Amino acid sequence: MNQNEIKLYEARANIIKALAHPSRLFIVDMLQKQSRTVGELTEMIGADTSTVSKHLSVLKNAGIVEDEKKGTAVFYSLKTPCILNFIGCIEEVIESNTKAQLEILSCCRTRRTV
């Protein structure tokens, strides 16, 4: 790999790492529906404000979310809604893996009854 390829793969890995937490995936899901404040997300997640703020910071630094101040409140929204395509692909992988596991299980059950 040359230096430009390394930088590209590192940038991709950083975005994937930013998504690699259940709470951050939940935040992305919630922001797909509408913009939200830290307070709203904190209540939905059930974590403390500082933790949710940290998750939002990670997502913002990765370029996935953006913030906008409206009066005294800061609203977060998806900066790059195309990230939902990636999440949809992940769900297809989960479904495919589940089907494969069910096929294996079915085969095993068939052998035990013979």
Which tokens go with 110?
């068939």
- Rounded CA-CA distance 109/111 in Å is 5
* Burial category of 63 from C-beta neighbours within 10 Å (exposed 0-12, middle 13-18, buried 19 and up): middle
- Residue-wise pLDDT for 8-61, tens only, equals 999 999 999 999 999 999 999 999 999 999 999 999 999 999 999 999 999 999
Q: What is the pTM of this model?
A: 0.84
- Residue-wise pLDDT for 63-108, tens only, equals 999 999 999 999 999 999 999 999 999 999 999 999 888 888 887 7
